[in-house]
Structure 1
Amino acid sequence: MSTFDVVDPATLDVIASVPDQGIAEARAAVDAAHSAFPAWSRTAPRRRSEILHGAFELMLHNREELARLIATENGKSLTDAAGEVTYAAEFFRWFAEEAVRPGGDYGEAPAGGARTLVGHRPVGVAALVTPWNFPAAMITRKIGPALAAGCTAVVKPAAETPLTALAIARLLTEAGLPDGVITVVTTTDAAGVVGAWLDDARVRKISFTGSTAVGRVLLRHAADRVVNSSMELGGNAPFVVTEDADLDAAVAGAMIAKFRNGGQACTAANRFFVHADVAEEFVARFGAAVEKLSVGPARDGSAIGPLISDNAVRRVSRTVDELIAAGARITHRAQVPDAAGHFYPPTVLVDAPAVPEEIFGPVAPITTWTDEAALLDEINATEYGLAAYVFSGDLRRAIRIGEAIDAGMVGINRGLVSDPSAPFGGVKQSGLGREGARDGLREFQETQYLSVEWPG
């Protein structure tokens, strides 16, 4: 079998070679998942819970090793990587607890003469497709509920970051997961592998995290067999600062919302709307914080790592050039190292026009506003609706603005919206379904009811 190299984006060094699997291996993975499904789906919820909780504990026990692995293949800082491991492990703990609370319903039919029993059962073999930007969290956010529900799964991690997925699969095996329940397929032929899964009648679920463009393609393919689909797609998150906001809190929130993982996150703040009365002060404080960011390889203790590829650097550079051509000005920038990696300087721009697509990099375009109605019109004039952020000194006003934004998640006076206990997902072209919370479990279940004859 051929292999492909995994490259450290900070140094361009080859760190490992993994099997470049194809359609035959993809089908073999489904064979294993299909064979394992009857026994796993009948496994007692308590046992499924124990395995997930064991994987949670193993991830925390191996946190430093996993963080170094993520930082090496993804490029993010060690601080970001360690935070991701903790966050990713929490999905195993959360769904370990949900596994023993499957829920259901019982009631009398309104017309009488029958009782209704409602239950939930696993949808079947699930295909899980994850991106490179959070190689641990995106895996556990899908595997956790799939296993808790009683599904088996085939997993395709991003070709840029397959090592974390393989490491987590090994920890699941160590925790007691039976053979065949989860199979990771590493490949450079994503379309061929995922296409083979969607063409296989035994695959009843597709859960994808990635770009909206690819999500549309997968949904069209899934429609041919009416495959249960969950899609966590692109975003274009606004970050709103009102005139009475606590600027220290707003700057701190902006640093998290914009620069976590170097801006390479679907929830990253992409458009900054700062009230004109406080714009100058906000830009000065925010810009000063940006200029202090250390950029470089994770091993150097840097706060910001490289972008994932040279193509990503060119794309971000092109976006900044287009914004400047449209009238934006760079006010603040961090320094980048003279190194071989895919580094781009964290950048603040003012007088920036609307950004129609995700920047997916460490660039913060800022515009000012004065009229709230016009602000909301501009914010909602996008096909995306994943995340948003609102900072205001008036909580009721912040909630009112948040509720008026077309987004599945809104951070109110905080720059982080992700939590395993909360339903993660968007509206419009940002996706279908939710991950996390009870909603995440339901994505891997089918509802069934029994109508029981009940004379008298």
Structure 2
Amino acid sequence: MLEEAGVPAGVVNVLTTASSGEVSEPILADPRLRKLSFTGSTSVGSSLLEKAAGGVLRTSMELGGNAPFVVFDDASLDDAVDGAIAAKFRNIGQACTAANRFIVHSSVVEDFAARVTARVREMKVGRGTEDGVSIGPLIDANAVDKAAALVADAVKRGATLLTGGSRVDGPGTFFEPTVLTEVPADADLMREEIFGPVLAITTFDTEDEGVALANRTEYGLVSYVYTDSLARGQRMIETLETGMMGLNVGVVSNASAPFGGWKMSGLGREGGAEGVHEYLETKYTMTADPFSA
């Protein structure tokens, strides 16, 4: 398709493999390589950065996330619930931009939790070939084990399970879409990227408290904020420690925008003019005298 679009043959190459290391190691060692871009886990990204140091490569790293979804007391709950469903369950929660921690003002948390729970209970789990399915399988058995462990830890620490929370019997790697509320700050769900269909709710009372909870993570890829106050929205843009933010929207991905994060969520940007600049070199030239005609 790229060749049909006019890209010369051989400029773009796609290598599929069951062992990424066997492919990447010789490429990283090749002196012709000048740039490395990676999308994946923070642990693998950190390892690749170490390997890239030998060749002083330019790097772009789109790594893990732990996205907060903050709902203030002045937000439209209809919009916030729609946004929450989109931000959490797109690709069954298996996305780096998936909302991980739902930080909801105490005055609206009961209503918010009831509404999202009603929506989640309507979700059908199954194979994509079946009619009406909205929750498909997780990527592998390890992902199911992780989701089950995170839910069990949260419940053990005092969280309330509103719906779901279990593996699905039968073949395949399915996990029920889940809603938890009253999730304590020390639960593993608050620290680890879920990568599954688990919506975890915690509460706050003041704006400063909400910001502190949102920023209490080593990651900084994306955040979501719902408020009807433009001034508060501007404050959130300035204070939330993420490379991207959705203000009253649940999906931020856009090919024309600079996609990337702060802190342990990565380096550089993909998309937009900034993404193109990642692959360019800057040269400054100064001449002492103007050229003669």
CA 1:293–1:336: 2 relative to 1, 3 Å:
farther
The whole-number CA distance in structure 2 between the counterparts of 1:333 and 1:287 is: 10
Deviation for aligned residue 1:335: 9.3
Is 1:194 the counterpart of 2:18? The answer is no
Is 1:429 the counterpart of 2:264? The answer is yes
User: Equivalent residue for 1:159?
Assistant: none
Which of 143, 149, 154 in structure 2 is aligned with 1:318? 149
The whole-number CA distance in structure 1 between the counterparts of 2:77 and 2:25 is: 48
Deviation for aligned residue 1:338: 5.0
Q: TM-score, normalised by structure 2?
A: 0.93
Unaligned 5+ residue runs, structure 1? 1-170
Deviation for aligned residue 1:250: 0.2
User: Equivalent residue for 2:122?
Assistant: 292
Q: Report which of the two has the higher share of helix.
A: 1
User: Equivalent residue for 1:346?
Assistant: 177
Does the CA-based 8 Å contact 1:254-1:415 persist in structure 2? yes
1:13-412 pair list within 5 angstroms: 171-301=1-131, 302-333=133-164, 339-354=170-185, 355-412=190-247
Report the secondary structure of 1:238's partner residue. Answer: strand
The one-letter amino acid of 1:394's match is S
The whole-number CA distance in structure 2 between the counterparts of 1:418 and 1:399 is: 20
The whole-number CA distance in structure 1 between the counterparts of 2:220 and 2:6 is: 39
User: Equivalent residue for 1:439?
Assistant: 274
The whole-number CA distance in structure 1 between the counterparts of 2:90 and 2:173 is: 17
- Which digits, 9 at most, give the CA deviation of each residue in 1:88-117, with x for residues without a partner? xxxxxxxxxxxxxxxxxxxxxxxxxxxxxx
CA 1:316–1:334: 2 relative to 1, 3 Å:
closer
- Which digits, 9 at most, give the CA deviation of each residue in 1:145-201, with x for residues without a partner? xxxxxxxxxxxxxxxxxxxxxxxxxx2233343322122112122122112111110
Does the CA-based 8 Å contact 2:148-2:167 persist in structure 1? no
The one-letter amino acid of 1:417's match is V
User: Equivalent residue for 1:66?
Assistant: none
Deviation for aligned residue 1:412: 0.4
- Which digits, 9 at most, give the CA deviation of each residue in 1:378-415, with x for residues without a partner? 22121100000000121221221232110001100110
RMSD (CA atoms): 1.7
The one-letter amino acid of 2:232's match is R
Report the secondary structure of 2:2's partner residue. Answer: helix
The whole-number CA distance in structure 1 between the counterparts of 2:138 and 2:237 is: 30
Does the CA-based 8 Å contact 1:247-1:282 persist in structure 2? yes
CA 1:331–1:274: 2 relative to 1, 3 Å:
same
CA 1:214–1:335: 2 relative to 1, 3 Å:
closer
The one-letter amino acid of 1:275's match is H
Deviation for aligned residue 1:332: 2.1
The whole-number CA distance in structure 2 between the counterparts of 1:455 and 1:194 is: 48
Does the CA-based 8 Å contact 1:307-1:313 persist in structure 2? yes
Does the CA-based 8 Å contact 1:293-1:304 persist in structure 2? yes
Report the secondary structure of 1:320's partner residue. Answer: helix
The one-letter amino acid of 1:252's match is D
The whole-number CA distance in structure 2 between the counterparts of 1:188 and 1:225 is: 25
Deviation for aligned residue 1:453: 3.5
CA 1:261–1:282: 2 relative to 1, 3 Å:
same
Does the CA-based 8 Å contact 1:293-1:334 persist in structure 2? no
Does the CA-based 8 Å contact 2:221-2:243 persist in structure 1? yes
Deviation for aligned residue 1:241: 0.5
The whole-number CA distance in structure 2 between the counterparts of 1:212 and 1:221 is: 14
Deviation for aligned residue 1:455: 4.0
Deviation for aligned residue 1:327: 1.0
- Which digits, 9 at most, give the CA deviation of each residue in 1:42-83, with x for residues without a partner? xxxxxxxxxxxxxxxxxxxxxxxxxxxxxxxxxxxxxxxxxx
CA 1:182–1:455: 2 relative to 1, 3 Å:
closer
Does the CA-based 8 Å contact 2:67-2:98 persist in structure 1? yes
The whole-number CA distance in structure 2 between the counterparts of 1:209 and 1:453 is: 45
**What is the aligned length?**
286
The whole-number CA distance in structure 2 between the counterparts of 1:176 and 1:439 is: 23
The one-letter amino acid of 1:320's match is V
Unaligned 5+ residue runs, structure 2? none
- Which digits, 9 at most, give the CA deviation of each residue in 1:126-150, with x for residues without a partner? xxxxxxxxxxxxxxxxxxxxxxxxx
Does the CA-based 8 Å contact 1:296-1:336 persist in structure 2? no
Report the secondary structure of 2:124's partner residue. Answer: coil
Report the secondary structure of 2:210's partner residue. Answer: helix
Percent identity of equivalent pairs: 51
